[in-house]
Structure 1
Amino acid sequence: MTHRSSMVRTAIAITAIGALFSLAGCSGSQGATELDPEADVTITWWTGQSDEAQKLLEGMAGEFEELHPNVTIDISPGASSTEELLQKLSAGFAGSSYPNISYAFGAWASELESSQRTLDITEQVADPEVAWDEFSEAARATVQPTGEAIIGFPALVDNISLIYNKTVFDAAGVDYPTEEWTWAEFRDAAKKLTNPANETYGYAYSVSGSEETTWQFWPHLWQNGGEILSEDQSTAAFASEEGVEALEFLRQMAVDDKSIYLDQTDTKFAQLFAADRIGMMTSGPWQLWDLGVAGTDYGVTMLPGTDGDHQTVSGPDIWALFDTQDVNENYWSVELMKWLTASEQDLRWNVAYGNLPLRASEIDTPEFQEQVAALPGLDIMAQNNENATNARPTVSGYVGLSEAVGNAISQVLQGQGTPEEALKAAAEKADRSLSGD
């Protein structure tokens, strides 16, 4: 697992794999049909992790086994990389041999549910002791991809916040951003921070056309009142008046103000920020360690807002649960994930590993504050999960939609075409992807 999460790694051929899912019925050998919590049971858990992260989870699996001697946990990464888990799962569905629990990128959630193999845990998480509402709205929505069944627990949460370079701000004599900033104030500061003489830019934006390009656009769209998809999730809705207005704002900064460094690589902008050549970037917790190593003097705050709306975008990953037709296995799969995602354990898993805490209740704990001391700004990013109120679509056509939107944004920011024309053309491509063409 990397701190970059699945936000910028959704370009996996899930559409083709969806065909395999549709062929997989619910056949398979029948296990226990009456619950006996004391019965011996083996749970297969694919973690999608490696190295230190895998060792942490193996240790926690051992703890759970000590607490429940009748439970044996067969824990493994599941595949040589997290990206390969989806294909391995689909093959397992076809052969009626699949794990009880698997790590999964949030982008896969709809595909997993359509396999008809997932376990619906809606009733179990309604238990007040689970404290389901402590997870961010985006995380809860991701594990409930169609708005009906809840197919797992949040595994990792993150978001993008505004990171600013204090050295660049001080040199330009510009006041630091605040939590009340508007996008107009953001644009004004970016112009003041831009200095062609020493090739310093106020802001940076990816024009690679990847998901890095696309997901940075969603907060602008949402804050303007726009939506990515129609209500039934069958057609694109981003080429709206709100979408055009959002892209026009970025176009003005890039083309008219020339205050944005346009990054073709997705990675160079962070290096330039660390080297005091860029004043602001919108990014997530995965950047903080590198900034600390570089000795960059930085600060973190919420994204600028529109009419007081400061919502951000999040890329939650999940622990997907699967129905193995054995009620004892299903019971202990849920119990294991309830235990793992409880605050006490999450502090020793996500927080200890340097990720954001899954639950808002962990922010004030000594364990998390210790991480904040090592990674300043991590606490602001954790608080910013409250602004993660929308989830990116998990429909199979999202990959094609993302590519279409990313290319449209890239063209417009480089002075090619208008936002209205570019988004209209992107919507037509997206609709073809969403319909399976």
Structure 2
Amino acid sequence: MEMRDTPRRAGRRLGVRVTAGAATLALASLAACSGGSGGSGGSHGAVVMWHGYTDVEAKAIAQLGQEWNAAHPDQKVNVTFGGSNDDALKKTLASFVSGKAPGIAYEFGSSINTLAARNQTQDLTSLVKSSPSFQWDDFFPAARQATTTPDGKIYGVPALVDNLALVYNKKLFDAAGLSYPTANWTWDDFRAAARKLTDASQHRFGWAYVNDGTEDTVWRYIAMLWQAGGDLLTPDNKKAAFDSPAGLQAMQLLHDMSVTDHSVYLDTGDGQYQNLFNSGKIGMLWTGPWDLSGINKDIPYGAQVLPAKVNHATIAGPDNYMLFNKGDRKTAWAFLQWLDSAQTHLKFAVATGDLPLRESETKLPGYKDFLKRYPANEVFVDNLSKNATKSRPNIPEYPKISQALGAAVQSVLLGKAQPQAALDQARQQVDQILAGA
């Protein structure tokens, strides 16, 4: 089962709506030039790298491919669109069967367990650990965690990292006589602001929550669970740990804001929350940098860390470049090291608005240009070193765990279940999943 990591499906990365014509052209190009240039200067025998980028990101990654090939004529890489990132895992597994796998592919972080179990996927642990110049510890913790299995093996290098922060409409705060959110905001502050921003007669809500029961629903709850000092599973990943005082506090807040206060717009997964934010019908979002480019220019907005119960924990949705046993692996590894270097990736970040992957990127002169172009991203970057300290477990059972927890959160937000009862039922389901029942 392929699971989408984050709510980027309606955005510019993970759920891009590719037109039929664009998809046909991309697939035709891929079929016609398995070793061709792919728009990045490759030649016959080049290492093929699949990505699912579109728009500015597609242009930026193609440009980097051209730069690499110009400087390395004997180590060419064919950087090519391999289809939507939503279908990356399915397409990669099919390529293993057909024998036409790429040398490198962009994959969701959640795909690591499925792909790590395949013989075609390269274990990069020794390469990462034996390459001092790669500076593995320089990557933000959330990015490293997404590449690593519970047994400590590394099966990818970071391709993207992001996280959730509080994005708010300043105009609505001003109209309600509210001070803007601060880094000291608590859950109580957040709930009170959402209540004051809500106006049923105007069909306006203080906050929006994606409530389709998918990982979009789950990962916001997990951030709240961590904010209250709880955890999803026990340290050995053998039992559920979310049915705890912290888990109940998080679920109770969702219940109270949605069912009692009626201050939450429940999005069905169709992404309407952004249209409503743009039309002044939603005051606050818990979202990431992928949504910022979709905010209307006439909407004055700000970004702040998420509110705290005992801390300001957030959750990241990292993705990876993974290497397969196809083509020249020495070239593939050299290219990935260059692509993920601080200087190269910061160039990509400035062009696209993607967050830096490494701490050292924030120390380079070009980082000032990044913040000048994307000032709201400073909060998300700060989160990566301060508040994105935990990750979802990289275990094969996680997709089923997410389904069970997603149903529980959804039922509470809809007022169909009480918080404790929903937690109890989800815990029983998750314990059975982890026991292999």
TM-score by length of 2: 0.83
State whether structure 2 residue 301 is matched by structure 1 residue 287: no
Percent of paired sites with the same residue: 37
Distance 1:303 1:106 in 2: 23
Distance 2:229 2:204 in 1: 33
Matched position secondary structure for 1:75: strand
Matched position secondary structure for 2:166: strand
Distance 1:6 1:207 in 2: 15
State whether structure 2 residue 345 is matched by structure 1 residue 350: no
1:122 aligns to what? 125
> Of residues 293, 304, 307 in structure 1, which corresponds to 2:307?
304
2:90 aligns to what? 87
Instruction: Report which stretch shifted further, 349-358 or 163-172.
Output: 349-358
1:161 aligns to what? 165
Matched position secondary structure for 1:76: strand
Contact 1:43–1:74 under 8 Å retained in 2: yes
1:18 aligns to what? none
CA-atom RMSD in angstroms? 2.9
> Of residues 213, 233, 236 in structure 2, which corresponds to 1:209?
213
Unaligned runs of 5+ in 1: 12-39
Instruction: Report which stretch shifted further, 194-203 or 419-428.
Output: 194-203
Distance 1:239 1:337 in 2: 41
State whether structure 2 residue 240 is matched by structure 1 residue 256: no
Contact 1:142–1:391 under 8 Å retained in 2: yes
State whether structure 2 residue 132 is matched by structure 1 residue 133: no
Contact 2:223–2:314 under 8 Å retained in 1: yes
2:405 aligns to what? 405
Contact 1:253–1:260 under 8 Å retained in 2: yes
TM-score by length of 1: 0.83
> Of residues 108, 123, 136 in structure 1, which corresponds to 2:111?
108
- In structure 2, relative to structure 1, the CA distance for the partners of 1:432 and 1:91 (3 Å cut) is farther
CA offset digits 1:103-155 (Å, max 9, x no partner): 10001011111113332223333344223223221110110022411111100
The structure whose RCO (Cα within 8 Å, separation 6+) is larger is 1
Contact 2:412–2:418 under 8 Å retained in 1: yes
Unaligned runs of 5+ in 2: 1-5, 16-43
Q: How much does 1:92 deviate?
A: 3.3
* Superposition pairs of residues 2-21 of structure 1, within 5 angstroms: 4=8
1:229 aligns to what? 233
Q: How much does 1:69 deviate?
A: 2.9
1:340 aligns to what? 339
- In structure 2, relative to structure 1, the CA distance for the partners of 1:366 and 1:271 (3 Å cut) is farther
Matched position secondary structure for 2:216: helix
Aligned length: 402
CA offset digits 1:229-276 (Å, max 9, x no partner): 333334433223321221012212222233222233452222222222
2:21 aligns to what? none
Instruction: Report which stretch shifted further, 145-154 or 336-345.
Output: 145-154
Q: How much does 1:376 deviate?
A: 3.5
Distance 2:99 2:126 in 1: 25
Q: How much does 1:369 deviate?
A: 3.9
- In structure 2, relative to structure 1, the CA distance for the partners of 1:350 and 1:65 (3 Å cut) is same
Q: How much does 1:374 deviate?
A: 4.1
1:149 aligns to what? 153
Q: How much does 1:8 deviate?
A: 12
1:196 aligns to what? 200
1:313 aligns to what? 315
Distance 2:347 2:336 in 1: 14
Contact 1:6–1:105 under 8 Å retained in 2: no
Instruction: Report which stretch shifted further, 92-101 or 134-143.
Output: 92-101
- In structure 2, relative to structure 1, the CA distance for the partners of 1:6 and 1:44 (3 Å cut) is farther
1:22 aligns to what? none
Q: How much does 1:384 deviate?
A: 1.6
